[in-house]
């Protein structure tokens, strides 16, 4: 019986194991040093804030693994011997494999700042970080977060829930404007400040200063300012966790190099999820996709390949969703922070400064290319279909009501949005068409 060994029990590793089990009777072993069972990483902040218990974040009962004959090993892999098809654990145990999946995820970035390893300084990625933050919050009154992005804003919200004053340093001119177009970035920046967070833009960390007991006491910025703090959150992004692969014969670059089938350069060795760097023959840029849903999709495709049905990974239309404090965010397709040649856009913002819709379209055909929406919940499958079908901007605006999520509970804004378009393009004279039916309740 073939033995599949999976290093990592995040969404990619677990999805692969579950789908392999559905398709085969292979022996499956999952190795993780972080936790005994799979849990939802996006839910970590809610554990800390008291909204959920750790047990609530486990999608499967503890007996699920034994029932499905998936062997969970709590351990730390220290090496991969591809010549002998074997992995080495820190307790000197050796586990042989017929197929190996590296699904080791990401690790928080550090850039060699003086004092970055002081007590009170930490990142935010996995369950151990929640446990460490509980300790670091004891007696703390001030915190500084280095780096914006989604992890940084989650960290800030967690600290605010403990009544700890937060300063956030971002190197960009406004929050996350390396990803968001300027108007959306400014909207979120204002919202962050309205919540009492001291957002400092175009400011970088220079060094961290310890107090008399060795714990971090202050931060020095690149402009020489000293900011007192007892907690420092380092959230300047994450990088693929590839140390195991780098110390083996497995090819790496920024991530573990794989093709569209998630195969490495070594036969029967695969990589997927945050740690994988997918090479594309028709593109000059390799892909590293560090999202929950892409990790899940990679695991589903790889399971078929592992069971004899060689299947390429195809992400489809890009999407993501997040929450910036009280504002929900969705994005579909491609919305660049800097407009690209041949593109144009339509932007609507509500007077309350908490909602906006940004539609990007092709100048010649008016085909929808991408969408950002803040503060309004839209239906994923509707926008995905519109982009895939290359629906025009005018079609999307006239049928925007079709994308409303639970309109019986939330206010609708398509009339205001279409009215703005008609003011900007009076010759078009669009009308908002209400579309209701079963789709709205699925």
Comparing C-alpha atoms, which of 373, 436, 416, 422 is closest to residue 394? 422
- The residue assigned the tokens 């760097």 is 277
Domain ranges of the chain: 3-107+239-306, 121-236, 319-441
Query: DSSP string covering 39-61, please?
Result: --GGGHHHHHTTSS-GGGG-SS-
- The residue assigned the tokens 């190197």 is 171
Topology match between the domains 3-107+239-306 and 121-236: yes
Q: Are strands 165-170 and 142-146 parallel, antiparallel or unpaired?
A: parallel
Do residues 212 and 81 lie in contact, with contact meaning Cβ atoms separated by under 8 Å? no
For residue 439, what pLDDT band results from cuts at 50, 70 and 90? very low
What homologous superfamily is domain 121-236 in, according to CATH? FAD/NAD(P)-binding domain (3.50.50.60)
pLDDT tens figures, 187-233: 999 999 999 999 999 999 999 999 999 999 999 999 999 999 999 99
CATH topology of domain 319-441: Enolase-like; domain 1 (3.30.390)
pLDDT of residue 283: 60
pLDDT tens figures, 273-331: 999 999 976 666 788 998 899 999 999 999 999 999 999 999 889 999 999 999 999 99
The answer to whether domain 3-107+239-306 has CATH 3.30.43.10 is no
Which residues, 6 or more positions from 131, have their beta carbon under 8 angstroms from its beta carbon?
none
Whether 4 has a pLDDT exceeding 70, the answer reads yes
Cα separation, 62 vs 66, whole angstroms: 8
Query: DSSP string covering 275-305, please?
Result: GEEE--TT-SS-B----HHHHHHHHHHHHHH
Cα separation, 18 vs 12, whole angstroms: 10
For residue 437, what pLDDT band results from cuts at 50, 70 and 90? very low
pLDDT more than 70, % of the chain: 95
The 3-state DSSP class for residue 372 equals: strand
Which residues, 6 or more positions from 144, have their beta carbon under 8 angstroms from its beta carbon?
166, 167, 168, 169, 219, 227, 229, 231, 232, 233
Residues 102-141: b if buried by 16+ CB within 10 A, e if exposed: bbbbbbbeeeebebbebebbbbbbbeebbeebeebbeebe
Cα separation, 131 vs 216, whole angstroms: 18
pTM of the model: 0.90
For residue 409, what pLDDT band results from cuts at 50, 70 and 90? low
């Amino acid at each position: 019986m073939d033995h599949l060994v999976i290093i990592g029990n995040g969404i990619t590793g677990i999805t692969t194991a579950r789908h392999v089990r559905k398709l085969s009777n292979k022996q499956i072993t999952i190795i993780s040093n972080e936790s005994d069972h799979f849990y939802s990483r996006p839910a970590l902040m809610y554990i800390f804030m008291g909204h959920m218990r750790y047990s609530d974040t486990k999608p499967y009962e503890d007996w699920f693994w034994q029932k499905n004959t998936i062997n969970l090993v709590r351990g730390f892999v220290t090496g991969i011997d591809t010549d002998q098809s074997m992995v080495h654990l820190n307790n000197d145990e050796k586990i042989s494999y017929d197929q190996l999946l590296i699904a080791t995820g990401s690790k928080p970035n550090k850039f060699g700042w003086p004092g970055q390893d002081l007590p009170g300084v930490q990142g935010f990625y996995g369950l151990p970080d929640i446990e460490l933050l509980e300790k670091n919050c004891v007696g703390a009154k001030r915190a500084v977060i280095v780096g914006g992005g989604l992890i940084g804003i989650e960290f800030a919200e967690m600290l605010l829930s403990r009544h700890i004053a937060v300063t956030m340093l971002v190197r960009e001119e406004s929050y996350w404007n390396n990803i968001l177009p300027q108007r959306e970035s400014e909207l979120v920046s204002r919202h962050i400040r309205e919540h009492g967070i001291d957002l400092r833009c175009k400011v970088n960390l220079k060094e961290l200063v310890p107090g008399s007991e060795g714990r971090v006491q202050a931060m020095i910025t690149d402009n020489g300012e000293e900011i007192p703090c007892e907690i420092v959150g380092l959230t300047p992004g994450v990088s693929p966790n590839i140390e195991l692969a780098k110390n083996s014969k497995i090819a790496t670059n920024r991530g573990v190099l794989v093709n569209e089938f998630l195969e490495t350069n070594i036969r029967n060795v695969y990589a997927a999820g945050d740690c994988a760097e997918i090479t594309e023959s028709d593109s000059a840029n390799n892909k590293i996709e560090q999202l929950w849903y892409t990790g899940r999709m990679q695991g589903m495709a790889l399971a078929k390949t592992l069971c004899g049905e060689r299947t390429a990974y195809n992400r489809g239309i890009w999407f993501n969703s997040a929450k910036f404090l009280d504002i929900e965010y969705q994005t579909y397709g491609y919305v660049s922070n800097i407009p690209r040649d041949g593109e144009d856009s339509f932007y609507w913002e509500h007077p309350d400064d908490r909602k906006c819709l940004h539609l990007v379209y092709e100048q010649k055909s008016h085909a929808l290319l991408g969408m950002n929406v803040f503060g309004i919940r839209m239906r994923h499958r509707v926008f995905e279909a519109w982009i895939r079908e290359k629906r025009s901007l005018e079609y999307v605006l006239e049928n925007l009501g079709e994308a409303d999520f639970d309109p019986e509970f939330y206010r609708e804004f398509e009339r205001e949005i279409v009215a703005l378009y008609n003011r900007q393009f009076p010759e078009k004279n669009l009308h908002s068409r209400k579309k209701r039916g079963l789709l709205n309740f699925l």
